[in-house]
Amino acid sequence: MFLTRFVILGVLGLGAVMPALAMMQHGNMSMDEHGMIMNANPNNLPRDCEKITEEVNITIHAGQQYASKFNGKMFAFDNQQWNVKPCAKINITFINDDQIRHQLMIHGLPGYLYPEGMLHLELYGKGELQASLIMPSQKKTYLVHCELPQHAEKGMKAQLKVDGGDGDLPSIPGISAAIKGDTYSVNWSNASEGILLLCLLAGIAAPFIVLKIK
C-alpha cells in the first residue's frame, strides 16, 4: 500500500514538474531541450527611440547547404545582410537546417536593454526559435554570427544594418574581404624548384616543337 502511494505521488510530482522543464526561465534566458534564447526584447524601447518605426519579420536559416556558394566555406546563413529603419522592431525566426548546433548572435546592442550587448538564439540541432528585439536609432552595422568554435571562420557571419549602416564589416561572405586571407605555404626544396623550372622550360619550348612538327 505504501509503495503504491509512493508511486502515485511520484507520477503526480513528475507531471507537475514536466511543464516547468519544457521551457525553463532564468532572468533574460529561456531554454528547453531544443534550444535557448537570451535577451529577447519585444516591448522596451531604446532610450533614443520615441516609438517603433516599423515591424519587420525576418526568417534566417543556418546550415551547411547555404555555404556552397562561397569557396572554402563550410557553414553559412541563407542571407548575409539585412537592413532596417532606425527604431525598428525585428521579429526573428531562426531555423537550423543541420543536425548540429548553431547560434544566431547579434552584437553591439545597448547593454542597458541587452545584457552584454547581445541577442542570442541557439538550437542544438534541427529546429526553430522565434524572438524579437528593438533596434536603436543610431546609423550602425551590427555583427550577426555563430560563436561556436570555427563556425564564423568557416562562413557563418552576416551583418544587420540600421539606416544603411556605417559601412561593411570584414569577412562577410560575398560582401567583404577578410582582414587576413587564407595562406597556403609551400616548403620549397631543390627538387621541387628543379621540377618547377623544368615545367617552365617545357611550356616555353612546346609551341616551337609543335610548329616544327607541322
DSSP E strands in the chain: the ranges are 24-26, 29-31, 35-38, 55-63, 76-77, 81-84, 89-96, 102-107, 118-123, 127-134, 140-145, 157-162
Query: Buried b / exposed e across 34-60, counting CB within 10 Å, b at 16+?
Result: bbbbbbbbeeebbeebeeebeebeeeb
Residues 91-114: tens digit of each pLDDT: 999 999 999 999 999 999 999 999
In the block, cell 557563418 appears at 156
Q: How far apart are the two ends of the chain, measured CA to CA in Å?
A: 106
Q: Residue 74 has what pLDDT? A: 97
Residues 45-98: tens digit of each pLDDT: 999 999 999 999 999 999 999 999 999 999 999 999 999 999 999 999 999 999
Helix runs in 132-213, H state only? 190-213
Domains and CATH numbers, the chain: 24-162 (2.60.40.420)
Query: Buried b / exposed e across 193-208, counting CB within 10 Å, b at 16+?
Result: eeeeeeeeeeeeeeee
Q: pTM of this prediction?
A: 0.74
